[in-house]
A = this chain, B = another copy of it.
Amino acid sequence: MAKAWTLKSRPAGMPNHENFELVDLPDAPLGPNQVRVANSWLSVDPYMRGRMVDRESYVPPFQIGEPMQGGAVGRIIESNHPDYAEGDLVQHMAGWRDVSVAEPMAMLTKLPETGLPDHLWLSNMGLTGATAWFGLMKVASAKPDDVVFVSAAAGAVGSAVIQIAKAKGMKAIGSAGGPEKCAWVRELGADACIDYKAGPVLPQLREAAPNGISVYFDNVGGEHLDAALACSVPFSRYAMCGMIEVYNDFEKGVSQEMHHLMMLVGLRINMRGFIVSDFMADFPEFHQDMGAMIAAGAVKSRETVMDGIESMPDAFLGLFSGKNTGKMLVKV
């Protein structure tokens, strides 16, 4: 019998434990082309908050009473598909449970046996690393002479952006909450890291980037985005990846107060939202480049790991209180 986390109720504002329920899933027989996977690692990501809202979006909302979804890595324990055998290492999106039924049509992919730790496929070699890589290299078209500013730089995506930027010879400035996270971001190679909990972002960013920034990788929105606008050089490019600052306030209709949005025009800023799944066709290029940087030691990963399927809500909720440094994962 598999265990799965369902959405019990839709959160209003910050989610809490009442919104989730762990249920037993009966072991139904596999359908055609399906496989059964014993998951070893489960991912929690900020974007999942958006799927808890009942509205049209780029991914359909989670349904009340149904198991939630998310990235997972594990090994096949039963297969009804000719190309997938028992023991194969796979990645899929039927997470939030210890044992999943998945199929290739629904984002099941076989992983190579590289000797890399399995959980890397949920962090730097997975959607997290891909988000960083495609955002920086393709959306913002960052080049070695760019000065890159990254918010949530101690997070899973942000810490990858910092390291990719440095590996490519760019200047990289991070922002993180608290001296420990900032120290870690600097350890990753950042030229500077702003502590947004220590004071307003704008004066700190001006000091860290006296000649301005030319690329902004936005994970948070709000004050960070406004500060970036005030510090940009002409023709800056912004990769708009997320706005965690407002995810939990969206239903309340909270507004972001932008003082410097007008800079967009005069500075000819190019601000572009993106979702990593739009770049699926280019994943081989990402895997090759990222794999080489990891092998060379230029991109390191760090995980905040919680143990056991029971800890999924704790792990997810921790994303919004900054409990993670690097990628937040659950080890089943």
Which of A's residues lie within 8 Å of B, judged by CB?
A: 50, 57-58, 221, 225, 234, 240-243, 246-247, 250, 253-259, 261-275, 278
Contact = CB atoms under 8 A, between A and B. Distances in A.
B57 A266 contact: yes
Contact of A262 (B250, B265, B267, B271): B250
Contact of A275 (B58, B254, B266): B266
Nearest to A272: B270
A264 B271 contact: yes
B275 A265 contact: yes
A103 to B, nearest CB: 26
Contact of A259 (B225, B253, B267): B253
Given A265-B274, A265-B275, 18 more contacts: A242-B265, A243-B262, A246-B262, A247-B262, A250-B262, A258-B261, A264-B271, A264-B273, A265-B273, A266-B275, A267-B273, A268-B272, A268-B275, A268-B278, A269-B273, A270-B271, A270-B272, A270-B273
Contact of A58 (B234, B256, B261, B273): B234
A61 to B, nearest CB: 12
15 contacts: A58-B234, A221-B262, A225-B261, A243-B261, A243-B262, A246-B262, A247-B262, A255-B257, A256-B259, A264-B273, A265-B274, A266-B273, A266-B275, A269-B273, A270-B270
